[in-house]
Structure 1
Amino acid sequence: MDKTALIVIDMINTYDHPDADLLLPSVAEVVPRVVSLLERARKSDAPVIYVNDNFGEWRSHHGELLEKALAGPHASLVEPLRPDSSSLFIVKARHSIFYETPLGYLLSQQGIDRLVLCGQVTEQCVLYSALDAHIRHLDVTIPRDAVAHIHRDLADAALCMMERNMSARVCSSDELWPR
């Protein structure tokens, strides 16, 4: 197969949660890198899939999540990452992008066997998603400069675990898709 998709994890966000103050500086650093990845992936015709927490809004859909985030105080972090008309969007309820979502089926139907995971939070959702991808025999790449963290030390440990224990490729976002 050898088809790669860019997965954007939890970046459509209001940042109205307990760890937001610790997370926001890191998000501000990674947004330009994620924007660049989105542009290059789209230019290369790689599928772009947003997988986003529903934040307990059980009656919401991706459009409502986006509208709420864009109406919030941190809209400047969301606006540049807005899904385009070709982007796919999956709503999740827990940490892993695979947990009780149709993502596995979608990847199979699209012939995708390599994932580039970007977004947030490195030491939580990105880590758990990488593990779930690994146990599904998917190749995983993590651009270290395109994942946001709450705690730098835990993020560094998570990146090390993904690389060593899950055979993930950890690299710079500049190494992915041609400019």
Structure 2
Amino acid sequence: MAISTLCVFCGSSPGHDPVHGTAARALGGALTDAGIDLVYGGGHVGLMGMVADAVLAGGGRVTGVIPQALHDLEVAHHGLTTLHVVGSMHERKAMMADLSDGFIAMPGGIGTFEELFEMWTWGQLGYHRKPVGLLNVGGFYDRLVGFIDDVVDAGFLRAAHRSMLMVEEDPAALVARMQAYEPPVIEKWIGREQR
């Protein structure tokens, strides 16, 4: 699959463990090495700022999308290639999705989780056929991945839909998998009925 832009969801905090910042910078380097531009939430703080700065330092292009309210709190990154200021979080996610050929979630909080699951759900429902990846830095997402597998075992998530979420610990390996991604053939379904 041709990938020219990837959207990265991640924390507006750096977290307590410096391994997360190291991974953010490594992901930025992996993107520029692959010739892939970054789309992200437009902030200069936390892991968001680190991955953006790493892409910029490597000569890559970075597009940020930030709601006006967060822009007004002075958390916007003003050194980006392009910065879009939108009216709401809903507009932000829709624009980020439109501008991106795939999605990666790094460690983060509930906003990162919500963005990851929404993009994965949109793929499950056939609204897009773009890859969705989880960068599992230092085992951060181990328990979540285990829970997701439990959801499959419990019959609430199909194995084909589970396979849509790629999980890797190494940024370059995840980027490479996303570049090689072939969307699975998944039957259309509504509720419990196969169509």
Structure label with greater radius of gyration: 2
Superposition TM-score tier, normalisation by shorter sequence: 0.5 to 0.7
Asked if the contact 1:6/1:46 (under 8 Å) is kept, the reply is: yes
1:120 equivalent in alignment to 2:108: yes
Partner of 1:145: 137
Describe how 1:72-111 pairs up with structure 2 within 5 A. 80-83=50-53, 84=56, 86-91=61-66, 93-94=88-89, 98=93, 101-107=94-100
Q: Which runs of 5+ in 2 are unaligned?
A: 68-87, 152-156, 177-195
1:6 equivalent in alignment to 2:6: yes
> Relative to structure 1, is the Cα distance of residues 176 and 104 closer, same or farther in structure 2, using a 3 angstrom cutoff?
closer
Partner of 2:173: 175
Q: CA RMSD in A?
A: 3.9
Partner of 1:55: none
Shift of 1:89: 0.9
> Relative to structure 1, is the Cα distance of residues 153 and 116 closer, same or farther in structure 2, using a 3 angstrom cutoff?
closer
Shift of 1:126: 2.5
Query: When the two structures are superposed, what TM-score results if normalisation uses the length of structure 1?
Result: 0.55
Task: Return the alpha-carbon distance in structure 2 between the equivalents of residues 42 and 160 of structure 1.
Answer: 36
> Relative to structure 1, is the Cα distance of residues 81 and 125 closer, same or farther in structure 2, using a 3 angstrom cutoff?
same
> Relative to structure 1, is the Cα distance of residues 153 and 124 closer, same or farther in structure 2, using a 3 angstrom cutoff?
farther
**Count of residues paired in the alignment:** 139
Shift of 1:129: 3.2
Describe how 1:27-106 pairs up with structure 2 within 5 A. 28-51=18-41, 62=42, 65-66=43-44, 69=45, 80-83=50-53, 84=56, 86-91=61-66, 93-94=88-89, 98=93, 101-106=94-99
Shift of 1:46: 0.8
Q: Which runs of 5+ in 1 are unaligned?
A: 16-22, 52-61, 70-74
> Relative to structure 1, is the Cα distance of residues 126 and 39 closer, same or farther in structure 2, using a 3 angstrom cutoff?
same
Deviations 1:54-100 (A, max 9, x none): xxxxxxxx4xx42xx4xxxxx6x6663344271111125549973xx
> Relative to structure 1, is the Cα distance of residues 156 and 34 closer, same or farther in structure 2, using a 3 angstrom cutoff?
farther
> How high is the sequence identity, in percent, across the aligned residues?
9
> Relative to structure 1, is the Cα distance of residues 30 and 41 closer, same or farther in structure 2, using a 3 angstrom cutoff?
same
Asked if the contact 1:10/1:120 (under 8 Å) is kept, the reply is: yes
Give the secondary structure class of the aligned counterpart of 1:24: coil
